[in-house]
Homo-oligomer: A and B are copies of this chain.
Amino acid sequence: MHVLVTGAAGMIGRKFVERVARDGRIGKAPVERMTLTDVVPPTPPKAGFKTTARADDIAAQGIAEALVKDRPELILHLAAIVSGEAESDFEKGYRVNLDGTRRLLDAVRTTGDGYKPRFVFASSIAVFGAPFPETIPDEFHLTPLTSYGTQKAIGELLLADYTRRGFLDGVGLRFPTICVRPGAPNKAASGFFSNIIREPLAGKEVVLPVPETVRHTHASPRAAVNFLMHAASMDTTAIGPRRSLSMPGVCVTVGEQIAALERIAGAKAVKLIRREPDPVITRIVAGWPERFDPVRASKLGFKAESSFDDIVRAHVEDELGGKLA
């Protein structure tokens, strides 16, 4: 199988590629070739198959056609301008997230001649906007309140129509917040969800800008890779025409996150968390969805961690070699 991954230099893209390199297969299908693209050159993994790494502007004329020319049987479209930048740079967000996605879908469509790849699209819970019910059902309507969420919602609609038309076999995944994100603390409003776990585990102080009562849904990077693996290899006949699925996750309060950290790394880790309430971040976070009821995804076999303790342990195992500071 030939696999194309866009956004392959991103955190999830890299982890997916490393996992495929390690496994040598996706589901039951051996991987013979991977094409990796991103706006910066992705790092090719050590793998037992051929890999090609390219730096591309996916929204530029002819690029999408070049990417699908060799008819990859599986496409993972992870490339996107992230939420904050899509909000600050309106044209760039629409160009990459809408036009780039559409160009890739159209490159597949116009290939024709029986070409019908599995097309996995990374969507986001940002397709939903407040006001929310206490628990967001699979049938909640698309009500984005950001340009990023709008672009992802449009991607979902296109994916469903191109699938219905028989041009490709689409699966859209609405990722919950990914936690614990590895790497340096970033300035995303959601960064603290990861920071308050990752930094204390590394023996470093960290700021908590919101009350401990804030509730949110999380899945580990490992779970996110598992979602992609499953979407890439699952039997799609049971999905039906509604091709995008809210992924499962662990719904906890910040207080419950901290309690899990304490169970795993002790009171000394928790002491590194400094409470400095930030009214701006608290207000932004108040507009975010808290809890999902991803019945469809669960029935279709998507699995996340079952507790936040498991999420902390996944980070210790995957990023810290199993060792605590």
- How far, in Å, is A69 (CB) from chain B's closest CB? 21
- How far, in Å, is A116 (CB) from chain B's closest CB? 15
| Proximity bits, A160-203, B CB within 8 Å = 1, else 0 | 11001100000000000000000000000000000000000000
Residue of B nearest to A241 (CB): B145
Other-chain residue from B90, B139, B241 in contact with A141 (beta carbon distance below 8 A): B139
Total identical chains: 2
Count A-side interface residues using an 8 Å CB cutoff.
Answer: 21
| Proximity bits, A114-156, B CB within 8 Å = 1, else 0 | 0000000000000001000000000111111101001001100
B165 touches A157 (CB 8 A): no
A141 touches B144 (CB 8 A): no
A242: interface (CB < 8 Å): yes
- How far, in Å, is A32 (CB) from chain B's closest CB? 32
Interface of A toward B, CB cutoff 8 Å: 90, 129, 139-145, 147, 150, 153-154, 157-158, 160-161, 164-165, 241-242
Question: In the complex, A153→B144 CA distance in Å?
Answer: 13
Question: In the complex, A129→B158 CA distance in Å?
Answer: 15
- How far, in Å, is A170 (CB) from chain B's closest CB? 13
